[in-house]
Amino acid sequence: MTAPILIFDSGVGGLSVVGALRTRLPGAPLAYVCDNAALPYGTKPDDWLVARIVAVCRAAVAASGARALVVACNTASTLALKALRENLSIPVIGTVPAIKPAAHASRSGVFGLLATSATVSRPYTQRLIAEFAPDCTVVRLAADRLVAQAERVLTGMPWDDAVITASLAPLWEASRLDTVVLGCTHFPLLREALVRHAPRDIVWVDSGDAIARRVAQVVFPAWHDTSESDASWASAAQQAGLARTLAGYGFSAPYSLALPATVSTF
């Protein structure tokens, strides 16, 4: 059996990257792991998060026999990539907010960064803005409540219009804003809702295809197409609707991820 590419996220947001990976790397075996017992990541302390992310990813890599790890989580990537690369012997591909393509896409030079509290305030994010959008006005907006909305949608529940409206409202105060970076992998799963609640035409930019291109560069395509479902793991595998959601993206029902006894849920 060919070793899979493992996609990791705090919840089901990383599934927004799976479609791009399947398009870019048809036939590649994938595996998925979510640390949904600790969701959401964006509101947790940095030191605790780094330790938790490393522990979850080490356990998932061991369980899946993965050949590469895709950290399909902006919060985890802006915080823990260095620690993951120091603790794992396989390639680790991270996710960062799509600041550079947004700067190119915006005609007005005013664009939004919609992300979690952790991502919008991270020094790494500020460095991306300074390097790739120095002449742009970037409206940074923490929208942690949208993570739960995306989880609701993927488990078959409707989104809450009031939450979507309130979460986006500060963006529209910038009248020239014409582009929004979806700086959390959960947010592309809400694209229909986001478009519906925008007061004007907006270019929505995410990192899915860029991640898939990078994975294709790093992982040599030595596999054969298979009709078998790809495997998945979760730290709370019995969560209602999770198995159905994962099945919709070609994954089998999740196994319970075994973590060391020293790893706690915040």
What pLDDT sits at residue 130? 97
Gap between the terminal Cα atoms of the chain = 36
Choice between 240 and 105, residue whose per-residue pLDDT is larger: 105
Higher pLDDT, 56 or 220: 56
Give CA–CA dist 13/259, Å, rounded. Answer: 21
The pLDDT confidence band at residue 260, using thresholds 50, 70 and 90, is: confident
The arithmetic mean of pLDDT across residues 61-89, rounded, is 94
Determine the average pLDDT of the residues in 94-99.
92
Q: Is it the case that residue 261 has pLDDT exceeding 60?
A: yes
**pLDDT greater than 70 at residue 155:** yes
What's the pLDDT at 61? 97
Query: pLDDT tens-digit profile of 9-46?
Result: 988 889 989 989 999 998 889 999 999 998 888 778 88
Cα–Cα distance, 18 to 245 (Å, whole number): 13
Averaged pLDDT for residues 49-73 = 96
CATH of 99-206, picked from 3.40.50.1860, 3.20.20.210, 3.40.50.2300, 3.40.50.300, is 3.40.50.1860
* pLDDT (average), residues 110-114: 98
Please identify which of the residues 34, 57, 136, 184 carries the catalytic annotation: 184
Provide CATH code, domain 5-95+209-256.
3.40.50.1860
pLDDT tens for each residue of 217-248:
988 665 555 556 699 999 999 988 899 999 99
Where in the sequence of the chain do the CATH 3.40.50.1860 domains occur?
Answer: 5-95+209-256, 99-206
For residue 165, the tally of other CB atoms under 10 A from its CB is: 11
Catalytic pick among 34, 57, 73, 136:
73
Q: Is 57 a catalytic residue?
A: no
- pLDDT exceeds cutoff 70 at 185: yes
- How high is the pLDDT of residue 94? 94
Closest CA to 265 of 235, 240, 231: 235
pLDDT given at position 262: 80
Q: What is the pLDDT of residue 101?
A: 95
Rounded Cα gap, residues 225 and 74, in angstroms: 30
The whole-angstrom separation of Cα 75 and Cα 81 is 10
The per-residue pLDDT for 222 is 56
